[in-house]
Amino acid sequence: MLSRLLRKFTGQKASKDTAKKRLQFSLIYDKLEVNDTTLTDLQKDIVAVISKYFEIDKDSLELKVKRDDEVSALVFNTPILHVKRKSA
Amino acid sequence: MEGKVIVITSGKGGVGKTTATSSIGAALALEGKRVAIVDMDIGLRNLDVVMGLENRIVFNIVDVVQGKCKISQAAIRDRRIPNLFLIPASQSDNKDVLTTSSVERVANQLRKEFDYVIMDSPAGIEKGFENSIVGANEALVICTPDVSAVRDADRVIGILYSRSLTPKLIVNRIEPARVERGEMLSHEDVLEVLSIELAGLVPLDERVLISSNTGTPLVLQNDSKAGQAFKRIARRLNGEADLPIEVPNHRSSMWRKISKTFGFKK
């Protein structure tokens, strides 16, 4: 109780609050971690689907998980060589 | 009626799994249930020595799973607490000798012979952990109020959910004075981070080490705060779901009443 009052007056933060914040962040990040096999499998599947519609440069494509403070995004980047026309 | 298989696990080592397992098992036996405690930490057995039964080991859980002996031959009866049995781990094998399917088969067999089967899981999330959760109906996750134990608990909780188990949490080694000073995560903090249902709160207690020194059950000591906390956890598991969870407190109840009256406590 006394230490709580003291903290209030000095504006000092309790170390357990820091612990809690750090935990909350690390748990979110832990869950966003994707292992390499998952990424490789995903890339194969995406390439297969896109290849149905576009001719793409398979050597210069890139798939990654981009993280920032607020959000986490899956970024797939590929040059399109040309669009496949469906033969009617 | 078939019994229940309860796994006690933590991810991180050294947070009190073995103490919790032996105490909750003993407390359930004191409630009049037939209890088997199974040490699943193959190669690093410890429950036998914590429970004071190390001199009476003949067979172990690996022998049972491999069909080398009957359950009744491997289960060591505790002479102080009726209906309490320990099936020790093997000390010489490594964790890979058991397959999940064979452990599941034995768990189902044990369920027929006991009211409660408590599985003490090894630390980690590898094969030994998988083996200890495979036959479980219920799961208890234990952690201490520090960042590494809570993070590991979160990982384990995630895995348990993926196996259709809904674990409950025991927060162990709470130091109320340090919680009060803001030096230690409170159980509310831990629960908020993990979003999980609480099974019980256990204070740090010097008696735990002393009781493991001598191999005597903590729950038989009425002056052990941790022992009493584990007893209440066992009673809640055993159907008394409404038994309130006591929050460890370092002040005398007199001072608590006074400070509550004057609104010092939040």
What is the C-alpha to C-alpha distance for residues B47 and B211, in angstroms, rounded to an integer?
Answer: 13
**Cβ–Cβ contacts within 10 Å for residue A38, how many?**
10
Question: What is the band of A81 on the pLDDT scale with cuts at 50, 70, 90?
Answer: confident
What is the C-alpha to C-alpha distance for residues B216 and A66, in angstroms, rounded to an integer?
Answer: 54
What is the C-alpha to C-alpha distance for residues B266 and B252, in angstroms, rounded to an integer?
Answer: 17
**B47 within some domain:** yes
Is residue B265 less than 8 Å (CB to CB) from chain A?
yes
Show the tokens assigned to A37: 């096999």
Helix B207-214 vs helix B225-237: angle between axes, to the nearest 10 degrees? 80
A interface with B, Cβ–Cβ below 8 Å: 1, 3-4, 7, 14-17, 19-20, 22-24, 26-27, 30-31
**B123 within some domain:** yes
**B266 within some domain:** no
Single-letter residue type at A15: S
Q: Which long-range contacts (CB under 8 A, 24 or more apart) does A6-12 make?
A: A7/B182
Among B147, B154, B158, the residue with its CB nearest the CB of A19 is B147
DSSP for B117-145, written as a single string:
EEEEPPSSSSHHHHHHHTT-SEEEEEE-S
Q: Domain range spanning residue B100? A: 4-261
Scanning the structure block, which residue is given the tokens 């134990």? B149
Q: Smallest CA–CA separation between B187 and chain A, in Å?
A: 11
**Which residues are CB-contacts of B52 (< 8 A; sequence separation ≥ 6)?**
B214, B215, B216, B217
**B90 within some domain:** yes
Count how many domains chain B has: 1
Is residue B156 less than 8 Å (CB to CB) from chain A?
no
> CA nearest A15 in B: which residue?
B183
**B169 within some domain:** yes
Of B78, B108, B84, B93, the C-alpha closest to B40 is B93
Q: pLDDT at residue A86 above 90?
A: no
Would you give per-residue pLDDT tens digits along chain B (266 residues)? 799 999 999 999 999 999 999 999 999 999 999 999 999 999 999 999 999 999 999 999 999 999 999 999 999 999 999 999 999 999 988 778 899 999 999 999 999 999 999 999 999 999 999 999 999 999 999 999 999 999 999 999 999 999 999 999 999 999 999 999 999 999 999 999 998 999 999 999 999 999 999 999 999 999 999 999 999 999 999 999 999 999 998 765 566 666 666 665 44
What is the C-alpha to C-alpha distance for residues B56 and A13, in angstroms, rounded to an integer?
Answer: 53
Is residue B263 less than 8 Å (CB to CB) from chain A?
no
pTM score above 0.90:
no
Q: What is the CATH number of the domain that holds B124?
A: 3.40.50.300
Show the tokens assigned to B91: 């000390």
**B234 within some domain:** yes
Look up residue B13 and give its DSSP letter. Answer: S
ipTM above 0.90, yes or no: no
Helix B187-194 vs helix A15-32: angle between axes, to the nearest 10 degrees? 20
Show the tokens assigned to B35: 């209890």
Show the tokens assigned to B261: 């009256």
Burial status of residue A25 (CB atoms within 10 A of its CB: 0-12, 13-18, 19 or more):
exposed
Runs of H (alpha helix) within chain A? 2-10, 15-32, 36-51
Contact list, A9 vs chain B (CB under 8 Å): none
Query: Which of A23, A28, A33, A35 has the highest number of chain B CBs within 10 A, making it the mutation to test binding with B?
Result: A23
Domain ranges of chain A: 34-88
Contact list, A1 vs chain B (CB under 8 Å): 180, 259, 264-265
Contact list, B265 vs chain A (CB under 8 Å): 1
Q: What is the pLDDT of residues A22-39, one digit of tens each?
A: 999 889 888 877 788 888
